[in-house]
Amino acid sequence: MDEIDNELELKDKNAYSENDIEVLEGLEAVRVRPGMYIGSTGAQGLHHLVYEIVDNSIDEAMAGRCSRIIVTINSDNSITVEDNGAGIPCGIHKTAGIPTVEVVHTILHAGGKFGGNGYAVSGGLHGVGASVVNALSTFLEVEVKRDGKIHYQRYERGKTVTPLLIKGDTEETGTTTHFKPDPEIFEETVFDYGTLLHRLREMAFLNKGVRIILRDNRGELESEEELYYEGGIVSYVEYLNNSFDSAEEGYDDDGKPLKKRVFSPAKPIYFCGEKEAGFAEVAMQYQSGYDEKVYSYANNINTREGGTHLVGFKNAITKVINAYARKYNFLKENDKNFTGEDVREGLTAVISVKLHNPQFEGQTKEKLGNSEIKPLVESIIIDKLTEHFEENPEDARVIIEKCAIAARAREQANKAREQTRRKGALESTSLPGKLADCSEKDPSLCEIYIVEGDSAGGSAKVGRNREIQAILPLWGKMLNVEKSRADKVFSNDKLLPVIQALGAGVGNDEFDVNKLRYHKIVIMADADVDGSHIRMLLMTFFFRYMRPLIENGYLYLAQPPLYKISKGKESVYAFDDKELDVKFAETGWNRNDKLVSIARFKGLGEMNPEELWATTMNPETRTFLRVTIENAESASKTFSELMGESVEPRREYIHANAKFVQNLDI
């Protein structure tokens, strides 16, 4: 058999010739390999189409030619982006021989960002934005107000279907793009309002003075939000920190006066500077929590993997704080310097640089590589932050004291981790006593259910598939890591079994996703308020201490049913009130029939092993929700709002979302 396989393989290699090389002309390459240009054909790629068009309008704003951008989700899930910029040039292109607006939309790597005087700073550098959106849409219409005329052209799946038309006269300028994603390309074509809102809000923060309006015209979902921030990235930091004045601090869950969420100073510190390498601005503020929220941007692009600008910021802030602490004797002669981790605990900061020729690593543009930006950011921070500390010694004192507390906590956390490790609790061979492990050793095939309570854990152990499904029961009150430092986490008897079972370490500096013993980590809690709280506590822990686990798509939420409907020996299950109505309609059963019983499960422990397997654990019939992170900033802000010390943001969240609550236990 091996000989036959090898022979076939050899023939295949020999068959490869010049006739197998295809040349894809125009935008065909984009349609054949869309992932190369927009990342994916899922939800992320779908929304990326909008960002590409909006980025062009933002580039107009950075060039000083645009002050308003309107993004509309139309009733048919098409998108309209309108700006009041200069408008795409419509004259005949000197080399292509067709209108320039047509060149922009039908030829890859054609744009005004490669050279010349059109754009000094730009986020769209590869000249693929408008043409890629055009290629991946069933249709795209562009209307340009320029040179006193309204120009119009239509394309379908990347091909021009009308000549450039003059629709009328105008004294205005600007570009309006209307497109609809192609269902032949995308797995889904329904836009998410929240996803678009987050990105557009981010763009408004990064470009102060630009007014961005998002409209949703889809039936009952119609809504509109205007995004305008004169404070720019200072407003962004305040937004991330949920800052509020001391007069409105309110009270905590126990009725005690609420601690200020913002630690020091009351308003974010802001620096900016410009040199030949480009322009850089930084806004920073400490808050009373422990998590670090530092976000970096280059030409409005979120550099999630950091880069030279972020390295420059981190180096400089650590250097300035240590130098000031030494100068004014906060650090004694024999004291160790604060580490970068110490000085960034509880820090919220936004670093935004704008430069002429940014060098990003890869088309995803998630890491900045320009070496000249590091010294630019460093010099600005060192000069301006040192000056701020000298002029505001109280700010410096409070910040340094917070760094000192963080340093002591770090040492305690290291001791707690080492003590736990010496006991063997963090070794890969150490497994928690209550873990019922599976027999399969390939992590990609293994699942672990983290189950609320011993009763439900017992049912799950009996009902599971022992080959691939492991069960870890948890009991007692779970630690809220949002309100706790790392030393508490490493020694917590409720979280330690989770760390042990997963076998990949804990903490951003130690967790190794490649060592995970299971590639499906399933939180299985009751379908009630207490169960929701447990799910949130565990998700907060995973987000803060094992984030790659979520980023790689390994975390799931089980969806146990809320109802069991029985008639005679036949039973069906419903996950919520809406599905309960659907099940009655599907079965044709009468809700008022005395032979219909409806049982509402109060907890997983009420299900026998067979029911738990059939409804929640059987891969053939179960429903899971995968936990994903669309954007780390939004997720971090949400966890801080819901699980942090401050009650005011939590109260605001509850008030805003109370109308969406279902299945509330009273």
Catalytic residues: 452, 526, 528, 530
Sequence-distant (6+) residues with CB within 8 A of 486 are 290, 409, 410, 413, 416, 507
What is the β-pairing status of strands 68-73 and 211-216? parallel
Residue indicated by tokens 């691939």: 468
Residue among 556, 293, 269 nearest 389 (CA)? 269
Residue among 180, 187, 258, 203 nearest 68 (CA)? 203
DSSP character at residue 339: P
Sequence-distant (6+) residues with CB within 8 A of 167 are 143, 150, 151, 152
Structure tokens belonging to residue 104: 């922009």
Is residue 403 within 8 Å of 290, Cβ to Cβ?
no
DSSP 3-state of 449: strand
- HEC secondary structure over 156-171: ECCEECCCCEEEEECC
Q: In what order do the strands lie in the sheet with 624-626?
A: 469-474, 447-452, 520-524, 555-558, 624-626
CA distance 221 to 86: 33
Q: In what order do the strands lie in the sheet with 301-302?
A: 262-275, 278-287, 347-354, 293-298, 301-302
CA distance 258 to 248: 9
- Paired with 299 in beta bridges are none
Residue indicated by tokens 């180096």: 315
Residue indicated by tokens 């809000």: 201
Is residue 7 within 8 Å of 14, Cβ to Cβ?
no
Degrees (nearest 5) of the Cα angle 384, 388, 391?
A: 140
| Total number of residues shown for the chain | 666
Q: In what order do the strands lie in the sheet with 597-600?
A: 570-574, 563-567, 597-600
Half-sphere exposure at residue 550, Cβ-oriented, CA atoms within 13 angstroms: 21
CA distance 560 to 604: 8
- Paired with 150 in beta bridges are 145, 168
CA distance 173 to 148: 8
CA distance 7 to 16: 15
Structure tokens belonging to residue 457: 């854990």
CA distance 417 to 402: 22
> Letter for the amino acid at 166?
I
Half-sphere exposure at residue 102, Cβ-oriented, CA atoms within 13 angstroms: 22
